[in-house]
Amino acid sequence: MSTDLERLLAAAADDTDQPLHTDVDEILVRGRRSVRKSRIATVSTAVLTTAAIVGGIAAWSTTRPESAEPAGTPNGQTITIDVKTGRIIDDETGKTVVPAPPVSPLSDAEVLSRCTRYDHTYEHFSQAHPGKTLDKAGPVDARWKIVVKSGDRSVLNALFLSPDQSVVSTCTMDGPEKPDSFGRTHTAAISAAGQIRHQTQPQDGLRVPVRGATRVLVDLAGESSPREALLGTDGFLTLGHPGENAKLITVDRIRGYDAGGTKIYEHVPTPVTPPSLPTVDPSVTVKTADPITPQVVLTKDPETGKPLAPAPPVSALTDKQITTRCRGVDDIYFKDSAGNPADPRIKAAGPVTKDWQVALKTGTGNKLTAVLVSPDKRVLAWCHMLAATAKGPYDYARSAVQANGTFKDDGTSAMVPNGVAQIIVDLPGQGPTRALISNGFYIWGLTGGNSDLQSVRVRGYDAHGQKVYDQKKTVDADFD
């Protein structure tokens, strides 16, 4: 899965020349839920065998035909090829460079055929939301450019660039019919990923922002020798298929060299200084509004008289079924992001268990969106699943209670204001909609992905149908 930072960048960056208007707190909090993940398999079954590319880097021809292989051998390198072993020596440090991952021998047509069969992210969104788009790039097809591909005839790691160059799609497969992970990221986010020091996955890819680079060396935290990246077109590069023992990596330095061996690019990613976070305070627990039973049930908009769209249904799944299913994505969350250890409050709650309270649940069949509260009443888990297990598409996030006993309103569900018995959310397209209220939380539909965040009007009414709350809220207006 992509890291919190990458997810936020993917959601927030519309173009390379438009700066992100957000702060670090928003990166750490909102970024956890900005891209829907379709994880088809969670464990790789094949290990990529790396091979040394002696004497040069794989560089794509800008006009390569379908059968063309990577071409171009830089001359006059400042790095040295050991004539006895064939290994590359970094002259700057004297260390042996870990060879670049091999270029995939598969044709572009075969790579496209394998990956498009599993491009469920866009396919699902298009089917669930006719006339709407997850992004403007459209589904991965023959118009997309394969900017880099690594692997052998079985395993594969490939990056596709959309025709409008706005989106990069990553495809990693353990075998011809064994998809591992897929993602869609704005091109600006790929470029930004190498600028900021953070954890990422080796297969997610990076981009060097200079023209003319034909060889790229990447220094990773905890590794004594630099790695040579496989460089494709347009500055995109990959460290290849991570294998079954994949671990998150942190880039310490990136260096780029031109064909003559001159270093033309070097960057040390800038560390992100997280905001100061409070220590675990057992006295601060969730403070939800007291439930109020409406004496006058609103069926029409009090302001227009038009019928209200019904509230989303309560899920028929039992609380035990929901905690069991959400535990699957919670396990991945802890594995892939280490449970966001920067916030001790989230880590202190531990993994989801049967003892977590299902405060709210909506959905039909296997589809669900649920809000779970930890036994210590200090952590909230937001769980959105479209299949019975974590092998299907899902979104997931955890957040810690604030000092006032509430959770930050971040667009996917919210806490009921005091004195409110009924809530109307003015959704674009659907119109005024009754919200589902449960245990002090409310939701307006089967939300997931932060794919259509919009500022809408939220109105709260007391037990007698009198308006006591009227605010603009940012909500995810798309439903699965």
pLDDT tens for residues 281-297?
788 899 999 999 999 99
How far, in Å, CA of 28 to CA of 161, rounded?
27
DSSP letters, 178-231, are: EEEEEEEEEHHHHHHHTTEE-EE-GGG-EE--STT--EEEEEETT-SSPEEPEE
* Contact present, 352 and 365 (Cβ < 8 Å): no
C-beta pairs of 115-118 under 8 Å, 24+ apart in sequence: 115/140, 115/156, 115/158, 115/160, 115/169, 115/171, 115/173, 115/182, 116/140, 116/141, 118/38, 118/40, 118/171, 118/173, 118/179, 118/182
**Residue 396 confidence (pLDDT) above 70:** yes
Instruction: List, in order, residues 6 or more apart from 466 with CB less than 8 Å away.
Output: none
The model's confidence at residue 373, banded by pLDDT at 50, 70 and 90, is: very high
- What is the pLDDT at residue 352? 94
pLDDT (mean) for 135-158: 91
- 232 versus 77: the higher-pLDDT residue is 232
Residue whose entry in the numeric block shows the structure tokens 């469920």? 120
**Residue 108 confidence (pLDDT) above 90:** yes
pLDDT (mean) for 136-145: 88
Q: What is the pLDDT of residues 5-63, one digit of tens each?
A: 434 343 333 332 222 223 333 322 333 332 333 332 222 222 222 222 222 222 222 22
Percentage of the chain lying above the pLDDT 70 cut: 74
pLDDT (mean) for 212-220: 91
- 69 versus 45: the higher-pLDDT residue is 69
Q: What is the pLDDT of residues 188-214, one digit of tens each?
A: 888 888 888 888 888 888 999 998 898
pLDDT (mean) for 168-197: 86
